[in-house]
Amino acid sequence: MQDSHTKINQLSLHGHQTEIRVRGFHLDVYRHVNNARYLEFLEEARWHYFDEAGLTPLFTAAGCGMAVININISYRRSAGFGDDLLITTAFSRVQPRKVEVSQIITLKNTGQTVVQAQVAFVAFDQQSNKAVSFPAVIQQRFNALLQK
């Protein structure tokens, strides 16, 4: 069985990476990034990955979207003003009606883990607003990304 450190190293080698610099408006009264901001950082990184992987036009063409159904997030250390964060995102599980993405936020200059998260999504039809299976072309793309 792999420990979390091994999983982090493998994800950082194989995942998509997005960089974000912590700005003043990301900070709370305690002068560190507020926990809710990390959810925004993770979402920005997912969108960046999905755009670069060509998923966004596939969803648009299929008339479906993805809705987050579960986020499990662990906070490991704080980040502050001026920190450069590296967010690594990778598909970790693909099923016909649900996919999971693993994400890790690290301090770029030290590699220290700030946040680890597991995010689960389902597909929904934009007309009926009901959950559906992912269209075959999207499932194929997910599986190709999972293999990377």
- Catalogue the active-site residues: 28
3-state secondary structure of 78: coil
Nearest Cα neighbor of 85 from 103, 104, 102, 107 is: 107
Please report how the helices 136-147 and 55-62 are oriented relative to each other, as an axis angle in degrees rounded to 10. 160
Round to whole Å and give the CA distance between 77 and 112.
Answer: 8
